């Protein structure tokens, strides 16, 4: 009897350990990042001139201390596809410090890439100690814990980890340990002082055929936005590398251009995570027609030249601010469409379906689920199988 349930017990213990460790690391990373972001906002004019130096330091760190870790999320996806590559533990401090530098000096980037890589690294290390053969499942558990600890959305984190590795496929075996690790990670991070962003959407329109048509059109526009972001990001990374193959030159020259643009465009309005734009979208702050477009382009530039961080939080900001504009055009409640955009652009850019719906529910309330389902479905159908994660494979592709 014990032998029958031994694997479940082992996976449960590992999931709890992963949740505690990753939640604590997420809390440390997230709280320091927010403090640095606040400091940058207050001292933007003094810090933005040094963005190029921060970029050069970032490249130096990766080149000299963990060159294999420069693959970033690509390395994590390779393990998820059951490759024999190794995730070095030193990836954790390297990705953490480099992302802090990005945000301190004004780069427009996210943070989920760090959290997911931290989670995957911790899970992979513990899995090796416990001699777990299914390393790809361990990595998914860690990815879920990392995402959940940062955003404190355990349901969305679970499905994100099990559906993002291969589009169109869900790794059901990983769901239970991933959920357990996600719940523990979320509670650990919250207990250690990392606050969750949540807004309850109360103004919900009546569902009818006219509204469904509107949501379909709006979802399609969100989908095209997410697709465009994923396509342009991949294209920009390739082109910048072709033009400037030396990583030091690429990030130095790119940073000079980025610094000038961030300074010209409202002196830092589009720097950092984009949480300022998200807050304004849901608190009635001023949202301009060009907000989503400038955040879109400056985030792509930041990541394409070699800065570290992630894409998801800027995608939330792009979706929410675009949602405000579309709400005016379609005569719908502003925060309602902003919430839909928050989830739907994320869906299209990551080529995932269930995780965006669930993150919308966990952040804005489960009463939004039917509206999210319609909008995300339309968005997901119009992303043309593109993803910000180049390591993601397709269910029916020839690649094994």
Residue 390 has pLDDT above 60, yes or no: yes
Q: If you write DSSP's letter for every residue of 121-144 in order, what string do you get?
A: HHHHHHHHHTT-S-HHHHHHHHHH
Pairing relation of β-strands 166-167 and 393-394? parallel
Residue 379 has pLDDT above 60, yes or no: yes
Q: What is the pLDDT of residues 204-258, one digit of tens each?
A: 999 999 999 999 999 999 999 999 999 999 999 999 999 999 999 999 999 999 9
Q: What is the pLDDT of residue 217?
A: 98
103 band by pLDDT with thresholds 50, 70 and 90: very high
| CA distance to 47, 312, 342, per residue, from 102 (Å) | 11, 15, 23
Q: What is the pLDDT of residue 360?
A: 98
Residue 5 has pLDDT above 70, yes or no: no
The set of residues, in sequence order, having a beta carbon less than 8 Å from that of 208 and lying 6+ positions away, is none
Q: What is the pLDDT of residue 64?
A: 87
Q: What is the pLDDT of residue 7?
A: 77
Query: Average model confidence (pLDDT) for the chain?
Result: 94
Residue 400 has pLDDT above 60, yes or no: no
Q: What is the pLDDT of residue 399?
A: 42
Q: What is the pLDDT of residue 158?
A: 98
Average pLDDT over residues 121-130: 94
4 band by pLDDT with thresholds 50, 70 and 90: low
Q: What is the pLDDT of residue 81?
A: 85
Residue 395 has pLDDT above 70, yes or no: no
- Token pair listed for 84: 């024999």
Q: What is the pLDDT of residues 332-362, one digit of tens each?
A: 999 999 999 999 999 999 999 999 999 999 9
What is the spatial distance between Cα 386 and Cα 73, in angstroms, rounded to a whole number? 16
Q: What is the pLDDT of residue 1?
A: 53
Q: Residue 12: name the closest of 165, 166, 184 by CA.
A: 184
| Torsion sign across C-alpha atoms 251, 252, 257, 263 | positive
Q: What is the pLDDT of residues 131-180, one digit of tens each?
A: 888 889 999 999 999 999 999 999 999 999 999 999 989 999 999 999 99
Average pLDDT over residues 273-298: 97
Q: What is the pLDDT of residue 102?
A: 98
78 band by pLDDT with thresholds 50, 70 and 90: confident
45 band by pLDDT with thresholds 50, 70 and 90: very high
Residue 279 has pLDDT above 60, yes or no: yes
- Token pair listed for 142: 């860690």
Average pLDDT over residues 24-47: 97
Q: Is 85 exposed, middle or buried (0-12, 13-18, 19+ CB in 10 A)?
A: middle
Domains located in the chain, CATH noted:
2-191 (1.10.3080.10), 209-394 (1.10.3080.10)
What is the spatial distance between Cα 2 and Cα 51, in angstroms, rounded to a whole number? 57
What is the spatial distance between Cα 395 and Cα 220, in angstroms, rounded to a whole number? 22
71 band by pLDDT with thresholds 50, 70 and 90: confident
CB contact at 8 A, 35 and 103: no
Q: What is the pLDDT of residues 83-101, one digit of tens each?
A: 778 888 999 999 999 999 9
297 CB neighbour count, 10 Å cutoff: 18
6 band by pLDDT with thresholds 50, 70 and 90: confident
Q: What is the pLDDT of residue 398?
A: 44
């Amino acid at each position: 009897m014990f032998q029958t349930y031994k694997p479940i017990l082992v996976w449960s213990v590992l999931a709890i350990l992963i949740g505690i460790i990753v939640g604590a690391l997420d809390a440390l990373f997230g709280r320091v990042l927010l403090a640095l972001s606040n400091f940058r906002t207050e001292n933007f004019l003094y810090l933005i001139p040094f963005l190029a130096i921060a970029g050069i330091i970032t490249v130096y760190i990766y080149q000299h201390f963990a060159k294999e870790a420069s693959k970033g999320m690509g390395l994590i996806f390779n393990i998820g596809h059951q490759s024999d590559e190794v995730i070095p533990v030193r990836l954790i401090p390297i990705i953490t410090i480099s992302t802090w530098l990005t945000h301190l000096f004004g780069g427009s980037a996210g943070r989920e890439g760090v959290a997911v890589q931290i989670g995957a690294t911790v899970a992979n290390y513990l899995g090796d100690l416990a001699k777990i053969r299914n390393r790809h499942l361990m990595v998914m558990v860690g990815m879920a814990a990392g995402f959940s600890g940062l955003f404190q959305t355990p349901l969305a984190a679970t499905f994100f980890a099990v559906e993002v590795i291969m589009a169109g496929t869900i790794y059901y075996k990983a769901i239970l340990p991933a959920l357990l690790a996600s719940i523990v990670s979320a509670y650990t991070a919250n207990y250690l002082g990392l606050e969750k962003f949540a807004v309850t959407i109360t103004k919900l329109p009546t569902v009818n055929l006219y509204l469904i048509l509107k949501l379909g059109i709006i979802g399609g526009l969100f989908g095209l936005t997410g697709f465009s972001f994923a396509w342009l990001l991949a294209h920009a990374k390739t082109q910048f590398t072709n033009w400037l193959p030396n990583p030091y030159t690429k990030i130095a020259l790119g940073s000079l251009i980025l610094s000038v643009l961030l300074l010209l465009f409202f002196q830092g309005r589009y720097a950092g995570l984009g949480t300022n734009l998200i807050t304004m979208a849901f608190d009635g702050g001023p949202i301009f027609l060009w907000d989503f477009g400038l955040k879109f382009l400056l985030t792509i530039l930041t990541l394409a030249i070699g800065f570290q961080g992630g894409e998801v939080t800027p995608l939330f900001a792009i979706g929410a601010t675009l949602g405000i504009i579309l709400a005016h055009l379609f005569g719908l409640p502003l925060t309602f469409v902003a919430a839909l955009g928050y989830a739907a652009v994320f869906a299209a850019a990551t080529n995932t379906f269930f995780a965006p719906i669930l993150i919308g529910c966990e952040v804005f309330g489960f009463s939004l689920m039917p509206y999210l389902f319609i909008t995300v479905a339309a968005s997901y159908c119009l992303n043309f199988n593109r993803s910000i994660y180049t390591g993601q494979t397709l269910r029916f592709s020839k690649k094994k």
